[in-house]
């Protein structure tokens, strides 16, 4: 029993919900507007994947962001990106785009398939009040820059942000102190990891099924697991290969005023942002 107390327990399990975003993109939302207190400092996680171009080809035309960071991770296909900072590029399979909107950015994201496949994730991270109006920042990280390490013959991990066994991910200097891993565990494999006490930790299962606490039940793909506070986690694959995103961050514990693509601390700040967008004064840094 002492051993079990070492690990974080499961706080809640949520199932993804189909939704439409952008110009009609079909996707599965793991969490969003109604779960902000549960996932603080994270706001939203979308999983988009389809072999039917009609589900996504309309994409996400030009739209603004302020007060948040958007993190796009592609598994299959690619996304063409263009923004008001002058950035243009293609996020290909295995690549990450970490975009800090800060004081304001306007961009578009247009997904497309490669070899009949298109899929990936977009995570939104909140910015604290002290950084809401920071200078926008754009980072494009290629698959080759992301370490892919083997813990043993059963566990392999892509380290996007954070550190495991002395290997650090390429994304650093983020205010919410995030960790972001793409973890694969073969059948009957086990993985443990230490997180900072007080940090929010969740796992989103997108392939297979697994056990996310020593005395827990099997949790299948299409579900997201939120852990209670603690330090270590223990995750096991049973019967089939398990693959999931494992994410953590330091909670902000600040008020949230959220409308569409803009997240601030007060309704007045929200109104100001949308008024500026209408007047053409939204962009503060060029």
Residue range 198-257, pLDDT digits in tens = 999 999 999 999 999 888 889 999 999 999 999 899 999 988 999 999 999 999 999 999
Preceding amide of 41 cis, omega within 30: yes
Q: What is the pLDDT of residue 236?
A: 96
- What radius of gyration do the chain's Cα atoms show? 19
- pTM value is 0.95
Q: What is the pLDDT of residue 3?
A: 47
Sequence-separated (6 or more) residues with CB below 8 Å from residue 5? none
Residue range 139-183, pLDDT digits in tens = 999 999 999 999 999 999 999 999 999 999 999 999 999 999 999
Sequence-separated (6 or more) residues with CB below 8 Å from residue 44? 29, 31, 32, 33, 122, 123, 124
Render the burial of 62-98: b for 16+ CB within 10 Å, e for the rest.
Answer: ebbbbbbbbbbbbbbbbbebebbbebeeebebbbbbb
Domains of the chain: 2-279 (2.60.120.10)
Residue 112 has pLDDT above 50, yes or no: yes
Give the residue ranges of DSSP H helices in the chain.
2-5, 36-39, 267-279
**Rounded distance between C-alpha atoms, residue 44 and residue 72, angstroms:** 12
The mean of the pLDDT values for the chain is: 94
User: In terms of C-beta density within 10 A (0-12 exposed, 13-18 middle, 19 or more buried), how is residue 221 classed?
Assistant: middle
**Rounded distance between C-alpha atoms, residue 265 and residue 255, angstroms:** 5
Is residue 284 within 8 A of residue 133, CB to CB? The reply is yes
3-state DSSP assignment of residue 36 = helix
Token digits of residue 89: 């590029």
CA count, 13 A, side-chain hemisphere, 59: 17
Q: What is the pLDDT of residue 221?
A: 97
Residue range 1-32, pLDDT digits in tens = 444 458 999 999 999 999 999 888 999 999 99
Q: What is the pLDDT of residue 5?
A: 53
> How many CB atoms are located within 10 Å of the residue 234 CB?
18
Q: What is the mean pLDDT of residues 95-116?
A: 94
Q: What is the mean pLDDT of residues 278-284?
A: 94
Q: What is the mean pLDDT of residues 56-72?
A: 95
Q: What confidence tier does 286 reach under pLDDT thresholds 50, 70, 90?
A: low
Q: What is the pLDDT of residue 2?
A: 42
Q: What is the pLDDT of residue 224?
A: 98
């Amino acid at each position: 029993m002492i051993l079990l107390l070492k690990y974080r327990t499961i706080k809640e399990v949520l199932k993804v919900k189909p939704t439409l975003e952008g110009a009609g993109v079909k996707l599965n939302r793991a969490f969003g507007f109604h779960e902000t207190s549960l996932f603080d400092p994270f706001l939203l996680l979308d999983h988009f994947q389809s072999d039917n171009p009609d589900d996504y080809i309309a994409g996400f035309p030009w739209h603004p962001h302020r007060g948040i960071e958007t993190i796009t991770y592609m598994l299959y296909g690619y996304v063409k990106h263009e923004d008001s900072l002058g950035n243009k590029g293609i996020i290909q399979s295995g690549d990450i785009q970490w975009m800090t909107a800060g004081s304001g950015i306007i961009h578009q994201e247009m997904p497309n398939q490669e070899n009949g496949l298109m899929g990936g994730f977009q995570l939104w991270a909140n910015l604290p009040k002290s950084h809401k109006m920071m200078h926008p920042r754009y980072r494009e990280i290629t698959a080759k820059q992301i370490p892919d390490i083997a813990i043993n013959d059963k566990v392999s991990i892509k380290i996007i942000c954070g550190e495991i066994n002395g290997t650090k991910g390429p994304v650093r200097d983020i205010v919410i102190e995030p960790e972001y891993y793409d973890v694969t565990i073969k059948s009957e494999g086990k993985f443990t990891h230490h997180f900072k006490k007080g940090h929010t930790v969740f796992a989103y299962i997108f392939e297979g099924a697994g056990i996310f606490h020593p005395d827990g039940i099997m949790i299948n793909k299409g579900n997201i697991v939120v852990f209670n506070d603690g330090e270590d986690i223990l995750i096991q694959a049973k019967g089939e290969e398990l693959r999931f995103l494992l994410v953590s961050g330091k909670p902000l514990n600040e008020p949230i005023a959220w409308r569409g693509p803009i997240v601030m601390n007060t309704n007045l700040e929200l109104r100001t942002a949308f008024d500026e967008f209408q007047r053409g004064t939204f962009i503060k840094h060029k």
